[in-house]
């Protein structure tokens, strides 16, 4: 795989996905600038450097991005948390990322999430799969911040011409651990190849990609993967005989966002399939 001509900034480098990407991309000869609010816990990959920085610090982020051709934005709060904890890193921090990208003319690869659409019900067949232009239906403050991030990418593309690829990541783990992940699982290998194509593709524009492996039970349909030349190679299906866990919570099992939808859930009846319906 060809390495980019310019360095690449990776935020959230000390997280699980950041650590994997730092190692994997370095092995392909990429020059990486790593940053996170906590120290990098692994041996430093070849051709990489690390600076500890807070996403709330716009000046620090701009300095790290100088000369970079792409920003892989995997930083911020990565699970459901109270709004005040999400606000700084996930909203203000994203603004700093896009301002840095605007200064450098860099492409942004944004680690969005399936939780931006988590209150869509799970499909009963392939004909009901969601396409990339479905309505946002976030399942919490974390998912709401990811919807905000995708909309910020739309605005920076329209207003400033900043290319961005929004990866609606499903469940990126070594293997599926429950029935839901037979639909949402993304292998580490598919993640690496996806990020490579996001950066190396000739043109990206404003793109949305369902970041999951080639799972027959996937909830998701059309997206922009052909634009960047990516197709997943792995599949969760081989783990089906080993994965039996289904929760007893009807809210968790009804919606695509799984357990995040049930956090502080207080409706007496499920919300309608049409988000704007008056029916309960």
The pLDDT averaged over each successive group of 10 residues in the chain (280 residues) is 92 98 97 98 97 97 98 97 97 98 98 98 86 98 98 98 98 96 98 98 98 97 98 96 87 96 95 80
Residue 247 pLDDT = 84
Residue 280 pLDDT = 62
State the Cα–Cα distance between residues 14 and 9, nearest whole angstrom.
Answer: 13
State the Cα–Cα distance between residues 157 and 12, nearest whole angstrom.
Answer: 23
Q: What domains can you pick out in the chain, each with its CATH number? A: 8-262 (3.40.50.720)
Active-site annotation holds for 142: yes
State the Cα–Cα distance between residues 144 and 63, nearest whole angstrom.
Answer: 28
Q: Are 169 and 211 in contact (CB under 8 A)?
A: yes
State the Cα–Cα distance between residues 113 and 168, nearest whole angstrom.
Answer: 4
Residue 5 pLDDT = 93
The SS3 call for residue 169 is strand
Catalytic pick among 98, 141, 142, 148: 142
């Amino acid at each position: 795989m060809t390495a980019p001509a310019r360095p690449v900034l990776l935020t959230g480098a000390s997280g699980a996905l950041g650590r994997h990407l730092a190692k994997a991309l370095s092995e392909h000869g990429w020059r990486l600038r790593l940053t996170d609010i906590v120290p990098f816990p692994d041996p430093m990959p070849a051709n990489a450097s690390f600076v500890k920085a807070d996403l709330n610090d716009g000046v620090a982020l701009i300095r790290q991005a100088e000369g970079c051709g792409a920003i892989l934005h995997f930083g911020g709060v990565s699970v459901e948390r109270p709004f005040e904890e999400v606000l700084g890193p996930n909203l203000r921090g994203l603004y700093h990322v896009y301002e840095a990208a605007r200064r450098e003319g860099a492409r942004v690869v944004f680690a969005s999430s399936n939780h931006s659409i988590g209150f869509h019900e799970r499909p009963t067949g392939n004909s009901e799969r969601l396409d990339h232009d479905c309505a946002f239906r976030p399942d919490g403050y974390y998912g709401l911040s990811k919807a905000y991030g995708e909309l910020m990418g739309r605005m920076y593309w329209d207003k400033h011409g900043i290319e961005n690829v929004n990866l609606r990541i499903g469940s990126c783990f070594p293997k599926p651990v429950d029935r839901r992940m037979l639909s949402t699982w993304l292998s580490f290998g598919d993640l690496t190849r996806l990020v490579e194509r996001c950066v190396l593709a000739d043109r990206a524009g404003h793109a949305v990609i369902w970041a999951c492996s080639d799972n027959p039970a996937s909830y998701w349909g059309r997206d922009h993967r052909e634009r960047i030349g990516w197709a997943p190679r792995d599949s969760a299906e081989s783990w089906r005989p080993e994965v039996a866990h289904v929760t007893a919570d009807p809210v968790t099992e009804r919606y695509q966002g799984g357990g995040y939808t049930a956090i502080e859930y207080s409706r007496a009846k499920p919300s309608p399939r049409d988000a704007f319906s008056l029916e309960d």
